[in-house]
A and B are shown apart, each in its own frame.
Chain A
Amino acid sequence: MDEALLRSLTPGVLTVLVRRGADFAAAEDAVQDALVEALRVWPDGRPRDARGWLVTVAWRKFLDATRADTARRGREGRVEEEPAPGPAPGVDDTLQLYFLCAHPSLTPASAVALTLRAVGGLTTRQIAQAYLVPEATMAQRISRAKRTVSGVRLDRPGDVATVLRVLYLVFNEGYSGDVDLAAEAIRLTRQLAARIDHPEVAGLLALMLLHHARRAARTAFDGSLVPLAEQDRGRWDTAAIAEGIGILQAALARDRLGEFQAQAAIAALHADAPTAEETDWVQIVEWYDELVRLTDSPVVRLNRAVAVGQADGPQAGLAALADLDAALPRHTAVAAYLHERAGDLTKAAQLYAEAAHKAPDLAERAHLTRQAARLNARRHPRHSPPEA
């Protein structure tokens, strides 16, 4: 059973229903029903024309639902049995779906859920599992999202930036359940990049590929985080790196720099370094300067301070850090790292422990606690046995 094929067909099937006159919300429900049906019956034998099968089943589900709805309201059925002739295909409806599902009127969580379902072809259950919420909650989030965009027509181009933010969120929000959201984000971004010629779409795709390439090396066998400098670079996915760098170079050649291209450029410089020591930190700082110019984000300035610490030494890094708000997430962790490199182990250990206290996730908390423990163990070789 090729679930990937099923998912890749989803947006096309949905747009067929919309072209036949179904409203978006009802069409999307019908496609979801057809997907669930396919997941149930395809394992016994996939239809030869998978797309045709999905269109037929989805259209029938749509008619059933509409009839039931009409009957409930005690009216005569007004729905045509035969599909109304829609406008000629050719306009890229799938692209419009991306815009609709990332519409600025939606909250980020709603846009993510709707994109994964309507464009990604995931079931509500899979999305709910991935985001660790009950299925009923996710179902409500999706139907509210559809109500929110119900007045939006599918025929106007939207804002690429909002779509990219949604895809970035899908990629970046970790993964659980049986769906690999990072891989799914890459698939959706790749599909988008094939439909729209935009250097930032390419930049985001490159960024995702370059980070995904390091995934196997990012976690140790016991599940703990492995920082970039300590990763076994032999475990990086060289094919993904090559693809990411190729896409990035083509995008940069267009000379329309954006934040995703700049972030991808930084990831590419890391990917290029045969060892952590050979990293071109000077160039990385230059890219952070570009990013600061593009985004003026305090988080970028914080990352820049780390890079400055590598390029010009820990004192320079600490000086860059001093200009930033200490309440920024990870500020304490960065300070701990720079103090350690500057040789102040006592201060570093204390800051690592403080950073662990503020860590936003368990893996990072464990990592920072280990850093504190490592320095403490060095400063006070094996404490006396605990009193029992």
Chain B
Amino acid sequence: MAKYLLLKHYRGAPAAVNDVPMDRWTPEEISAHMKYMNDFAARLEKTGEFVDGQALAPEGEWVRYDGEGRPPVTDGPFAETKDLIAGWMIIDVDTKERAVALAGELSAAPGAGGEPIHEWLEVRPFLTEPPTITE
């Protein structure tokens, strides 16, 4: 088994095919989208491949250490040019092919007009623990 991160972006990913902002969908289309996402996660729980799924708020800030006894420096909110992560799903699957197939399914979630969004998702393998047997 290998873990993969399926990463969804607010900004920074190539444009989706069906690229209409959600507030321009109909309320029914929004419901259909939500249902698709929930069903997808529920199905992966059933197959024993779901690990975690989280959504992030679109606003945040940069923070860094500024030396002993000083409060951290903050910079934000994020500039409009910044690549912005919207959320993720972590899956634990047998092969990379399976991870890619699942990301493809997730990207088919319906959007405006009930048509698949064809959204670009990032698929990233986790770096694992070293194996016990090395030779």
A residues apposed to B, CB below 8 Å: 222-224, 349, 352-353, 356-358, 360, 362, 366, 369-370, 372-374, 376-377, 382-383, 385-386, 388
For A369, give its contact among B17, B23, B55 (CB under 8 Å): B23
- Do A223 and B27 form a contact, CB below 8 Å, given A357-B58, A383-B20, A386-B19? no
For A386, give its contact among B35, B57, B112 (CB under 8 Å): B112
Question: Number of residue pairs across A and B with beta carbons under 8 Å?
Answer: 54
In the bound assembly, the distance between CA atoms of A370 and B23 in angstroms comes to: 7
| Interface flag for B113 (CB, 8 Å) | yes
Q: Which of A223, A370, A376 has the most chain B CB atoms inside 10 A of its CB?
A: A370
B residues apposed to A, CB below 8 Å: 17-27, 29-31, 34-35, 38, 55, 57-59, 111-113, 115
- Do A385 and B23 form a contact, CB below 8 Å, given A222-B34, A373-B30? no
Given contacts A358-B57, A362-B55, A386-B113, list 6 more A-B pairs with CB under 8 A. Answer: A222-B34, A360-B57, A369-B23, A377-B26, A377-B27, A386-B111
Question: Does the CB pair A366–B23 fall under 8 Å?
Answer: no
In the bound assembly, the distance between CA atoms of A387 and B24 in angstroms comes to: 14
In the bound assembly, the distance between CA atoms of A164 and B111 in angstroms comes to: 44
Q: B55 to chain A: closest CB distance in Å?
A: 6
Question: Does the CB pair B31–A224 fall under 8 Å?
Answer: yes
In the bound assembly, the distance between CA atoms of A43 and B107 in angstroms comes to: 45
For A349, give its contact among B20, B22, B23, B34 (CB under 8 Å): B23
Closest residue of B by beta carbon distance from A356: B23
For B115, give its contact among A356, A369, A386 (CB under 8 Å): A386
Complex interface: chain A residues within 8 A of B57 (CB): 358, 360
The 6 A-B residue pairs with the shortest CB-CB distance, nearest first, are A372-B23, A353-B23, A370-B27, A386-B18, A373-B27, A369-B22
Closest residue of A by beta carbon distance from B35: A222
Complex interface: chain A residues within 8 A of B17 (CB): 388
